[in-house]
């Protein structure tokens, strides 16, 4: 029987999830369709009921619904509970199960380059939704996490959550300090750079050993990432995180191993098409 999946968010027209999941179905001959629905916040409860009534097997959740969807679900996996946010829902025997693959997706996207997590220092710029999932997942891997945010109280609140989970974390102001020379993994999680803006501070003097990630993937190289590269650091954008959160969502829904290469290729092709269309 054909299965149906979807992504819901608002706005949603630029989501790359449909292209990625459809390529995966084609690669493995899975009899499924992946839809994309623009759901305004006021319509979220009806949208959830509607997806269930229509027999959807699961769906991805993106901004601004990742937290607001929780009251409409039956259970949460430990990952979703810890993050306080859901990016994947599975319908199993009528039960709506909320899961979160953002954090593990990020971890998977950096593990080859980082070569081990335990005891290393991660500095996260930003303390929004994305930062929370990433920070918790890195702390779970045994990294020391230092979180810097414009609104310091948000970084402090996130540190408390991590410490409650048994992780090691500290908070600080969004400024370049002593950590620049010690950082193993620097992750830019704010929305600064989405529209070509430069970052509020320079990373000049950063350790050349550091792996620097900007979770923005479009543009493929933000001004922040460009500067880190000029400083001699290895850099990654957010495409790997997007890919692996999708890969883990696939495996949560369908079991087995997702076709990572086909899904990644589809993402790259689609981004290239979009870039060419803008010229």
Q: Where does this chain bind ligand NAP (CB under 6 A)?
A: 63, 126-131, 149-151, 154, 174, 189-192, 194, 200, 215-217, 238, 241-242, 245
In this complex, which beta carbon is closest to ligand NAP, that of residue 57 or of residue 190?
Answer: 190
In this complex, which beta carbon is closest to ligand NAP, that of residue 2 or of residue 177?
Answer: 177
Helices of type H across 29-147: 44-53, 78-83, 102-114, 129-140
Least Å from the CB of residue 30 to ligand NAP:
23
**Using omega within 30 degrees of 0 as the cis cutoff, is the peptide bond preceding 64 cis?**
yes
Helices of type H across 10-128: 17-28, 44-53, 78-83, 102-114
Least Å from the CB of residue 128 to ligand NAP:
2
In this complex, which beta carbon is closest to ligand NAP, that of residue 54 or of residue 258?
Answer: 258
Q: How far is CA 51 from CA 94, 98, 238, in A?
A: 12, 14, 29
**For tokens 């290393």, what's the residue?**
120
In this complex, which beta carbon is closest to ligand NAP, that of residue 129 or of residue 167?
Answer: 129
Neighbours of 4 (CB within 10 A): 15
Least Å from the CB of residue 54 to ligand NAP:
27
Reference 114, options 209, 33, 27, 201; nearest CA is 209
Active-site option among 22, 33, 66, 151 = 66
Least Å from the CB of residue 256 to ligand NAP:
23
Burial of 278 (0-12, 13-18, 19+ CB in 10 A): exposed
Comparing every residue's Cβ against ligand NAP, the nearest one is 128
Q: Reply yes or no on whether 66 is catalytic.
A: yes
Question: Which residues participate in catalysis according to the annotation?
Answer: 66
């Amino acid at each position: 029987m054909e299965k149906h999946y979807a992504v819901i968010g608002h706005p949603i027209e630029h989501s790359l999830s449909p292209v990625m999941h459809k390529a995966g179905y084609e690669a493995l001959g899975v009899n499924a369709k992946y839809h994309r629905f623009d759901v305004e916040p006021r319509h979220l409860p009806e949208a959830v009921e509607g997806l269930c009534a229509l027999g959807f097997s699961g769906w991805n959740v993106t901004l601004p619904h990742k937290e607001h969807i929780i009251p409409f679900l039956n259970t949460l996996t430990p990952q979703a509970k810890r993050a306080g946010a859901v990016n994947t829902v599975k319908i199993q025997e009528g039960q709506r199960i909320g899961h979160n693959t953002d954090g593990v997706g990020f971890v998977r996207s950096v593990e080859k380059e980082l070569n081990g997590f335990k005891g290393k220092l991660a500095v996260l710029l930003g303390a929004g939704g994305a930062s929370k999932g990433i920070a918790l997942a890195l702390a779970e891997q045994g990294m020391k996490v230092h979180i810097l945010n414009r609104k310091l109280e948000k970084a402090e609140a996130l540190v408390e959550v991590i410490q409650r989970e048994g992780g090691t974390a500290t908070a600080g102001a969004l400024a370049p300090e002593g950590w620049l020379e010690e950082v193993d993994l620097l992750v830019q999680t704010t929305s600064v750079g989405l529209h070509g803006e430069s970052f509020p501070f320079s990373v000049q003097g950063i350790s050349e050993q550091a792996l620097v990630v900007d979770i923005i993937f479009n543009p493929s190289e933000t001004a922040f990432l460009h500067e880190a590269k000029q400083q001699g650091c290895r850099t990654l954008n957010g495409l790997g995180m997007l890919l692996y959160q999708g890969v883990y969502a696939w495996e949560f829904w369908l079991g087995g191993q997702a076709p990572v290469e086909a899904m990644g290729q589809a993402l790259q092709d689609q981004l290239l098409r979009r870039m060419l269309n803008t010229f």
